Protein backbone atom coordinates (compact mmCIF):
# COMPACT_ATOMS: atom_id res chain seq x y z
CA UNK A 1 0.00 0.00 0.00
CA UNK A 2 2.80 2.39 0.90
CA UNK A 3 6.25 2.83 -0.63
CA UNK A 4 8.39 1.60 2.25
CA UNK A 5 11.63 2.43 0.39
CA UNK A 6 10.61 6.10 0.22
CA UNK A 7 9.85 6.17 3.91
CA UNK A 8 13.33 4.82 4.68
CA UNK A 9 15.25 6.70 1.97
CA UNK A 10 17.24 8.92 4.35
CA UNK A 11 18.00 6.12 6.83
CA UNK A 12 21.55 4.90 6.23
CA UNK A 13 24.08 3.15 8.46
CA UNK A 14 26.68 5.81 9.32
CA UNK A 15 30.25 5.51 10.54
CA UNK A 16 29.96 6.39 14.23
CA UNK A 17 32.62 7.85 16.53
CA UNK A 18 33.50 5.25 19.13
CA UNK A 19 33.24 7.68 22.03
CA UNK A 20 30.65 10.14 23.32
CA UNK A 21 31.32 13.19 25.49
CA UNK A 22 29.21 13.02 28.66
CA UNK A 23 29.18 15.67 31.39
CA UNK A 24 32.88 16.42 31.01
CA UNK A 25 34.27 12.96 30.28
CA UNK A 26 34.56 10.65 27.29
CA UNK A 27 32.72 7.34 27.51
CA UNK A 28 32.40 4.48 25.06
CA UNK A 29 29.46 4.67 22.66
CA UNK A 30 27.85 1.61 24.27
CA UNK A 31 28.02 3.23 27.70
CA UNK A 32 26.07 6.33 26.66
CA UNK A 33 22.75 5.23 28.14
CA UNK A 34 19.85 6.83 30.03
CA UNK A 35 17.24 5.35 32.37
CA UNK A 36 13.91 4.47 30.77
CA UNK A 37 12.13 6.60 33.38
CA UNK A 38 14.14 9.74 32.54
CA UNK A 39 12.02 12.87 32.28
CA UNK A 40 13.12 13.47 28.69
CA UNK A 41 11.58 10.19 27.46
CA UNK A 42 8.17 11.00 28.90
CA UNK A 43 7.94 14.75 28.34
CA UNK A 44 10.35 15.62 25.52
CA UNK A 45 12.49 17.84 27.76
CA UNK A 46 15.61 18.16 25.63
CA UNK A 47 17.41 20.77 23.56
CA UNK A 48 19.97 19.86 20.95
CA UNK A 49 22.08 21.00 18.01
CA UNK A 50 23.28 19.67 14.68
CA UNK A 51 26.75 20.77 13.57
CA UNK A 52 28.74 19.83 10.47
CA UNK A 53 32.46 19.15 10.48
CA UNK A 54 33.93 19.33 6.98
CA UNK A 55 36.99 17.72 5.40
CA UNK A 56 39.54 20.34 4.31
CA UNK A 57 43.20 20.42 3.31
CA UNK A 58 43.96 21.62 6.86
CA UNK A 59 42.12 18.67 8.38
CA UNK A 60 38.59 18.47 9.77
CA UNK A 61 36.93 21.85 10.34
CA UNK A 62 33.76 22.44 12.36
CA UNK A 63 31.33 24.89 10.76
CA UNK A 64 30.23 27.83 12.92
CA UNK A 65 30.82 25.90 16.13
CA UNK A 66 30.42 28.77 18.58
CA UNK A 67 27.20 30.01 16.99
CA UNK A 68 25.66 26.55 17.22
CA UNK A 69 26.72 26.08 20.84
CA UNK A 70 25.43 29.54 21.74
CA UNK A 71 22.08 28.58 20.26
CA UNK A 72 22.13 25.42 22.38
CA UNK A 73 22.67 27.55 25.49
CA UNK A 74 19.93 29.92 24.37
CA UNK A 75 17.53 27.00 23.93
CA UNK A 76 18.38 25.72 27.40
CA UNK A 77 17.79 29.16 28.88
CA UNK A 78 14.37 29.48 27.25
CA UNK A 79 13.38 26.18 28.88
CA UNK A 80 14.84 27.18 32.29
CA UNK A 81 17.43 24.41 32.17
CA UNK A 82 20.03 25.30 34.81
CA UNK A 83 23.31 23.57 34.03
CA UNK A 84 27.06 23.96 34.67
CA UNK A 85 28.42 23.88 31.12
CA UNK A 86 29.91 26.93 29.42
CA UNK A 87 30.24 27.89 25.79
CA UNK A 88 34.00 27.28 25.82
CA UNK A 89 33.64 23.87 27.48
CA UNK A 90 31.12 22.69 24.91
CA UNK A 91 33.22 23.96 22.01
CA UNK A 92 36.36 22.31 23.42
CA UNK A 93 34.43 19.08 23.92
CA UNK A 94 33.33 19.07 20.29
CA UNK A 95 36.81 19.75 18.93
CA UNK A 96 38.40 17.01 21.01
CA UNK A 97 35.65 14.53 20.20
CA UNK A 98 36.35 14.99 16.49
CA UNK A 99 40.10 14.71 17.10
CA UNK A 100 39.70 11.48 19.10
CA UNK A 101 37.28 9.97 16.57
CA UNK A 102 39.70 10.09 13.66
CA UNK A 103 36.84 11.17 11.37
CA UNK A 104 37.79 13.66 8.67
CA UNK A 105 34.19 14.80 8.30
CA UNK A 106 31.21 14.22 10.52
CA UNK A 107 27.97 15.48 12.01
CA UNK A 108 28.05 16.52 15.67
CA UNK A 109 25.00 16.13 17.91
CA UNK A 110 25.18 17.95 21.27
CA UNK A 111 22.12 17.36 23.44
CA UNK A 112 21.07 18.54 26.91
CA UNK A 113 18.12 16.93 28.65
CA UNK A 114 16.41 16.34 31.95
CA UNK A 115 17.42 12.92 33.23
CA UNK A 116 16.55 10.93 36.39
CA UNK A 117 17.80 11.24 39.96
CA UNK A 118 18.20 7.58 40.96
CA UNK A 119 18.10 8.40 44.67
CA UNK A 120 15.14 10.77 44.50
CA UNK A 121 13.22 9.97 41.31
CA UNK A 122 10.50 12.38 40.19
CA UNK A 123 7.91 11.40 37.60
CA UNK A 124 5.63 14.40 37.16
CA UNK A 125 5.46 17.09 34.51
CA UNK A 126 7.37 19.46 36.83
CA UNK A 127 10.89 19.33 35.34
CA UNK A 128 12.83 21.08 38.11
CA UNK A 129 13.56 18.07 40.37
CA UNK A 130 15.30 16.24 37.54
CA UNK A 131 19.08 16.53 36.95
CA UNK A 132 20.50 17.79 33.70
CA UNK A 133 22.67 15.64 31.45
CA UNK A 134 24.73 16.62 28.43
CA UNK A 135 26.11 14.41 25.67
CA UNK A 136 27.89 15.06 22.37
CA UNK A 137 28.06 12.33 19.76
CA UNK A 138 29.49 12.27 16.24
CA UNK A 139 29.00 10.28 13.08
CA UNK A 140 29.78 10.55 9.38
CA UNK A 141 26.54 11.64 7.70
CA UNK A 142 26.25 12.27 3.99
CA UNK A 143 23.83 14.54 2.16
CA UNK A 144 20.60 14.56 4.17
CA UNK A 145 18.24 14.64 1.17
CA UNK A 146 20.48 12.50 -1.04
CA UNK A 147 23.71 13.10 -2.98
CA UNK A 148 21.83 13.79 -6.20
CA UNK A 149 19.62 16.41 -4.52
CA UNK A 150 22.42 18.99 -4.35
CA UNK A 151 22.37 19.33 -8.15
CA UNK A 152 19.01 17.94 -9.26
CA UNK A 153 16.85 19.24 -6.43
CA UNK A 154 14.02 17.56 -4.54
CA UNK A 155 10.26 17.22 -4.90
CA UNK A 156 8.32 18.58 -1.94
CA UNK A 157 4.75 19.23 -0.84
CA UNK A 158 2.99 21.80 1.30
CA UNK A 159 2.14 19.93 4.47
CA UNK A 160 -1.32 19.73 5.99
CA UNK A 161 0.41 20.23 9.35
CA UNK A 162 1.11 23.82 10.41
CA UNK A 163 4.17 24.97 12.28
CA UNK A 164 3.77 25.54 16.01
CA UNK A 165 2.56 28.96 17.12
CA UNK A 166 5.36 30.92 18.85
CA UNK A 167 3.40 31.37 22.07
CA UNK A 168 2.60 27.65 22.29
CA UNK A 169 6.05 26.19 21.67
CA UNK A 170 8.99 28.57 21.20
CA UNK A 171 10.27 28.05 17.67
CA UNK A 172 13.47 29.91 18.61
CA UNK A 173 14.49 26.97 20.79
CA UNK A 174 15.80 23.84 19.08
CA UNK A 175 13.92 21.52 21.41
CA UNK A 176 13.26 17.82 21.03
CA UNK A 177 9.54 18.30 21.66
CA UNK A 178 9.25 20.60 18.63
CA UNK A 179 10.38 17.77 16.39
CA UNK A 180 7.22 15.76 16.96
CA UNK A 181 5.66 18.43 14.75
CA UNK A 182 8.56 17.97 12.32
CA UNK A 183 8.01 14.21 12.27
CA UNK A 184 4.36 14.66 11.27
CA UNK A 185 5.45 16.91 8.39
CA UNK A 186 8.21 14.53 7.29
CA UNK A 187 6.14 11.34 7.55
CA UNK A 188 3.27 12.82 5.56
CA UNK A 189 5.66 13.90 2.81
CA UNK A 190 7.45 10.55 2.58
CA UNK A 191 4.22 8.55 2.66
CA UNK A 192 2.93 10.60 -0.27
CA UNK A 193 6.09 10.19 -2.33
CA UNK A 194 7.85 13.49 -1.60
CA UNK A 195 11.31 14.06 -0.17
CA UNK A 196 10.20 16.78 2.23
CA UNK A 197 7.27 18.91 3.34
CA UNK A 198 6.91 22.68 3.70
CA UNK A 199 4.89 23.85 6.69
CA UNK A 200 2.84 27.03 6.87
CA UNK A 201 2.57 29.12 10.04
CA UNK A 202 -0.70 29.67 11.91
CA UNK A 203 -1.55 32.63 9.60
CA UNK A 204 -1.09 30.62 6.42
CA UNK A 205 2.31 32.07 5.47
CA UNK A 206 5.26 29.88 4.51
CA UNK A 207 7.30 28.86 7.55
CA UNK A 208 9.96 26.18 6.89
CA UNK A 209 10.55 22.50 6.15
CA UNK A 210 10.53 19.76 8.77
CA UNK A 211 14.18 20.49 9.52
CA UNK A 212 15.21 23.23 7.08
CA UNK A 213 14.74 26.92 6.46
CA UNK A 214 13.51 27.95 3.01
CA UNK A 215 14.50 30.61 0.48
CA UNK A 216 12.61 31.82 -2.60
CA UNK A 217 14.16 33.49 -5.65
CA UNK A 218 12.02 35.79 -7.79
CA UNK A 219 13.20 38.36 -10.29
CA UNK A 220 16.80 38.06 -9.13
CA UNK A 221 15.82 38.81 -5.50
CA UNK A 222 16.14 36.28 -2.67
CA UNK A 223 13.31 36.18 -0.12
CA UNK A 224 13.14 34.20 3.12
CA UNK A 225 10.50 34.07 5.87
CA UNK A 226 11.22 36.21 8.97
CA UNK A 227 11.56 34.87 12.51
CA UNK A 228 7.93 35.87 13.08
CA UNK A 229 6.86 33.04 10.73
CA UNK A 230 7.60 30.56 13.51
CA UNK A 231 10.97 29.47 12.11
CA UNK A 232 14.11 28.28 13.83
CA UNK A 233 16.82 30.97 13.58
CA UNK A 234 19.03 28.79 11.39
CA UNK A 235 22.82 29.10 11.41
CA UNK A 236 23.00 28.01 7.76
CA UNK A 237 20.15 30.44 7.02
CA UNK A 238 22.23 33.24 8.49
CA UNK A 239 25.26 32.04 6.50
CA UNK A 240 23.27 32.21 3.24
CA UNK A 241 22.06 35.71 4.11
CA UNK A 242 25.70 36.79 4.52
CA UNK A 243 26.70 34.96 1.32
CA UNK A 244 24.00 36.86 -0.59
CA UNK A 245 25.51 40.12 0.64
CA UNK A 246 28.95 38.91 -0.41
CA UNK A 247 27.60 38.13 -3.89
CA UNK A 248 25.59 41.38 -3.97
CA UNK A 249 22.34 39.49 -4.41
CA UNK A 250 19.36 41.50 -3.08
CA UNK A 251 17.80 39.75 -0.09
CA UNK A 252 14.72 40.53 2.00
CA UNK A 253 12.97 38.85 4.91
CA UNK A 254 9.26 38.90 4.25
CA UNK A 255 6.10 36.88 4.67
CA UNK A 256 5.61 34.47 1.76
CA UNK A 257 2.18 33.29 0.61
CA UNK A 258 1.75 29.65 -0.33
CA UNK A 259 0.93 30.55 -3.94
CA UNK A 260 4.30 32.31 -4.25
CA UNK A 261 5.97 28.90 -4.01
CA UNK A 262 4.29 27.84 -7.27
CA UNK A 263 5.40 30.89 -9.27
CA UNK A 264 8.91 31.26 -7.84
CA UNK A 265 11.87 31.24 -10.21
CA UNK A 266 13.85 29.14 -7.73
CA UNK A 267 13.44 27.63 -4.27
CA UNK A 268 15.96 26.05 -1.97
CA UNK A 269 16.28 24.64 1.56
CA UNK A 270 19.07 25.44 3.99
CA UNK A 271 20.15 23.66 7.16
CA UNK A 272 23.06 21.90 8.80
CA UNK A 273 21.93 18.54 7.43
CA UNK A 274 20.42 19.80 4.15
CA UNK A 275 23.18 22.40 3.56
CA UNK A 276 21.90 24.21 0.42
CA UNK A 277 19.45 21.95 -1.40
CA UNK A 278 17.42 23.08 -4.45
CA UNK A 279 13.67 22.39 -4.66
CA UNK A 280 12.55 21.37 -8.15
CA UNK A 281 8.80 21.01 -7.57
CA UNK A 282 6.12 21.85 -5.00
CA UNK A 283 2.88 19.84 -4.99
CA UNK A 284 4.01 18.44 -8.37
CA UNK A 285 4.20 21.94 -9.87
CA UNK A 286 7.70 22.52 -11.35
CA UNK A 287 9.70 25.36 -9.80
CA UNK A 288 11.13 27.49 -12.61
CA UNK A 289 12.60 25.08 -15.14
CA UNK A 290 12.31 22.16 -12.74
CA UNK A 291 15.97 22.03 -11.78
CA UNK A 292 18.57 23.97 -9.83
CA UNK A 293 18.51 27.62 -10.85
CA UNK A 294 21.46 29.98 -11.43
CA UNK A 295 21.07 32.00 -8.21
CA UNK A 296 20.86 28.86 -6.10
CA UNK A 297 23.92 27.48 -7.87
CA UNK A 298 25.95 30.64 -7.16
CA UNK A 299 25.04 30.56 -3.47
CA UNK A 300 25.64 26.83 -3.26
CA UNK A 301 29.04 27.10 -4.96
CA UNK A 302 30.27 29.77 -2.54
CA UNK A 303 28.88 27.89 0.47
CA UNK A 304 30.78 24.71 -0.41
CA UNK A 305 33.94 26.66 -1.24
CA UNK A 306 33.78 28.16 2.26
CA UNK A 307 33.03 24.89 4.05
CA UNK A 308 35.86 23.11 2.21
CA UNK A 309 38.30 25.85 3.25
CA UNK A 310 38.96 26.87 -0.37
CA UNK A 311 37.63 30.39 0.17
CA UNK A 312 37.55 32.78 3.10
CA UNK A 313 34.21 33.13 4.86
CA UNK A 314 32.56 36.47 5.68
CA UNK A 315 33.37 35.67 9.31
CA UNK A 316 35.33 33.23 11.47
CA UNK A 317 33.22 30.26 10.41
CA UNK A 318 35.62 27.30 10.49
CA UNK A 319 37.23 25.81 13.60
CA UNK A 320 40.16 23.69 12.40
CA UNK A 321 40.39 20.72 14.74
CA UNK A 322 44.08 19.96 14.21
CA UNK A 323 45.06 23.55 14.97
CA UNK A 324 43.28 23.86 18.31
CA UNK A 325 45.07 23.41 21.61
CA UNK A 326 44.29 19.95 22.96
CA UNK A 327 42.69 19.55 26.36
CA UNK A 328 43.65 16.77 28.76
CA UNK A 329 43.43 13.41 26.99
CA UNK A 330 40.60 11.98 29.08
CA UNK A 331 38.49 15.11 29.47
CA UNK A 332 37.41 18.01 27.38
CA UNK A 333 36.98 21.48 28.77
CA UNK A 334 37.39 20.09 32.33
CA UNK A 335 40.19 18.85 34.48
CA UNK A 336 39.44 15.99 36.88
CA UNK A 337 38.10 18.26 39.62
CA UNK A 338 36.00 20.23 37.17
CA UNK A 339 34.56 17.05 35.68
CA UNK A 340 33.47 15.91 39.13
CA UNK A 341 32.00 19.34 39.88
CA UNK A 342 30.11 19.34 36.57
CA UNK A 343 28.55 15.99 37.34
CA UNK A 344 27.67 17.11 40.86
CA UNK A 345 26.08 20.34 39.65
CA UNK A 346 24.18 18.54 36.91
CA UNK A 347 22.54 16.22 39.44
CA UNK A 348 21.45 18.92 41.86
CA UNK A 349 17.90 20.18 41.95
CA UNK A 350 18.05 23.82 40.83
CA UNK A 351 16.75 26.11 43.55
CA UNK A 352 17.07 29.08 41.25
CA UNK A 353 19.35 30.08 38.42
CA UNK A 354 21.86 32.64 39.64
CA UNK A 355 24.25 32.13 36.75
CA UNK A 356 25.21 35.04 34.61
CA UNK A 357 22.50 35.54 32.00
CA UNK A 358 23.32 34.17 28.59
CA UNK A 359 23.15 36.89 25.99
CA UNK A 360 20.54 35.83 23.48
CA UNK A 361 21.79 36.50 19.98
CA UNK A 362 19.38 36.31 17.08
CA UNK A 363 20.26 35.57 13.52
CA UNK A 364 18.96 38.00 10.98
Q: Which residue numbers are catalytic?
A: 174
> Which residues have C-beta within 8 Å of that of residue 155, sequence separation ≥ 6?
193, 194, 195, 279, 280, 281, 284
What single DSSP character describes residue 356? P
Tally of CB atoms within 10 A around 11: 7
Q: How far apart are CA 352 and CA 272, in angstroms?
A: 34
CA distances from 138 to 105, 161, 198, 212, 312 (A): 10, 31, 28, 20, 26
> Which residues have C-beta within 8 Å of that of residue 291, sequence separation ≥ 6?
152, 153, 278, 280
Find how far residue 16's CA is from the centre of its chain.
18
66: exposed, middle or buried (C-beta count within 10 Å: 0-12, 13-18, 19+)?
Answer: middle
CA distances from 41 to 108, 116, 143, 343 (A): 21, 10, 28, 20
What single DSSP character describes residue 30? G
In this structure, are residues 93 and 21 in contact, taking their beta carbons and an 8 Å threshold?
yes
Helix, strand, coil percentages, rounded to 5, for the chain: 30, 25, 45
Amino acid sequence: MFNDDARKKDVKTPTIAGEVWHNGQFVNWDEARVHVMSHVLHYGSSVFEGIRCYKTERGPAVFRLREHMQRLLNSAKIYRMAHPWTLDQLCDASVNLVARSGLQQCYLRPIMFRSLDDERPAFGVNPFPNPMACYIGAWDWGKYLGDEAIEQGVDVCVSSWNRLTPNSMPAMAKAGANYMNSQLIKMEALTNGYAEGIALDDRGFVSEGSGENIFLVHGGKVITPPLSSSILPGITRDSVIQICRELEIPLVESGIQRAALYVADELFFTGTAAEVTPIRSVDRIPVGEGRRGPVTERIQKLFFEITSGERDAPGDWLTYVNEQKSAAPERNGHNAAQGTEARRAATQTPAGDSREAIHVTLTE
